[in-house]
Amino acid sequence: MNDGRTIFSQLMEHAPHHHFRRCVERYRGNHGVRSFRCWDQFLCMAFAQLTYRESLRDIEACLGAVPERLYHMGIRGTASRSTLADANERRDWRIYADFAQILISQARRLYVGEPFGVDLDETVYAFDSTTINLCLSLFPWAHFRRTKSAIKLHTLLDLRGSIPTFIHITSGTVHDVTVLDELIPEPGALYVLDRGYVDFARLYHLHEAQAGFVIRARKNLRFRRRYSRPVDRSTGVICDQTVLLVVAKSLEAYPEPLRRVRLRDPETGKCITLRSNRFSLPATTLGELFRCRWQIELFFKWIKQHLLIKAFYGTSENAVKTQIWIAISVYVLVAIVRKRLGIEVSLYTMLQILSVSLFEKVDITQALTSARSRNADLSTCNQLQLFEL
């Protein structure tokens, strides 16, 4: 029940403050700070994400227009442009990275029973990266090519609920496959990968950790067929084989047999070849798993459209990473609130409603489940939908 609190404060109530304080203490984020503490910085940056503020001047103008409500929003310090810029430049971005991981763990528990298109008990992850282009003169530390800079967001997405469980931010020059070394394989889980991650030594590391993988094969891969299983071509399966690698270097890196499945898409007629270390799953299930990998592409497209991770408030590496991690925290926090309150509208609709109602003093559930919001959800059916029920 609402007791005169703003929607913003009701939303932030679901963020675990005690865990945030531990993250701040771990990196001494408030050391030497008098008034504008790390929690104030997080709230201001979260407000900017939710209301789509384009600059620090924009944030200062909006918050300065309602000074009497800042206290009720939880902001105790003065949110000036220079103060916020200094905080983004100097305070360790790992504070917000660690806090985002705490929110992610909470969200995964809430979405553990969500269907994702394949009837499996195992946890299924999709791993991929997306590139965010930057100006070379403003971001020289992220040099990518001769005329531009860029950063990459390497993301491991839990397909149940589209929750990012691992994010690694690098410069654009880092090859995608090398980031597999940063992953800690989860025994029993399935990892769905595109062909850019074909590295047999790293795939064998997943295999030894008792994790499964499904990966699209390269066309020039050489192998020797050991066994062919009978298939029903009416299901789109062309062949289902057990193979061994024949190139000496590849065989040394992955000495175990692999499964080779070739499928035809009934809609487009295109063929795709998959490799996997899971021999017990039906061939059609492997095809459906790889089809579900498209969720991570939708996730990247969605966050680029609806979160402020393409235009940055600061130019240093610390400021950029701080903004990205707070954006991810806001995304996951809204997903948590959606599940805890049993709200049935899409995440897109929730963010649109929050963007114009953060200062309102009404119950957040009432604001997000009104008839008007349901009508807005119907009018945005052409938008990318995550967290559908």
> What is the CATH code for 208-277?
2.20.25
pLDDT tens for 102-153 read 999 999 999 888 888 788 888 999 999 999 999 999 999 998 988 899 999 9
As a whole-number percent, the residues of the chain with pLDDT over 70 amount to 94
**pTM score above 0.75:** yes
pLDDT tens for 166-202 read 999 999 999 999 999 999 999 999 999 999 999 999 9
Among the listed ranges 3-7, 143-147, 186-190, 210-214, which one has the minimum average pLDDT value? Answer: 3-7
DSSP readout, 339-353? Answer: HHTT--S-HHHHHHH
Write down the pLDDT at residue 252. 95
DSSP readout, 32-93? Answer: T-SSS-HHHHHHHHHHHHHHT--SHHHHHHHHHT-HHHHHHHT--S---HHHHHHHHHHS-T
Write down the pLDDT at residue 70. 81
The model's confidence at residue 3, banded by pLDDT at 50, 70 and 90, is low
Q: What is the mean pLDDT of residues 322-350?
A: 91
Q: Is the pLDDT confidence value at 239 over 50? A: yes
Domain boundary assignment for the chain: 7-97+314-378, 208-277
Closest Cα to residue 210, out of 235, 238, 187? 187
Rounded CA-CA distance 68/51 in Å is 19
| H runs (alpha helix) in 209-316 | 248-253, 283-292, 294-306
The model's confidence at residue 240, banded by pLDDT at 50, 70 and 90, is very high
Rounded CA-CA distance 309/235 in Å is 41
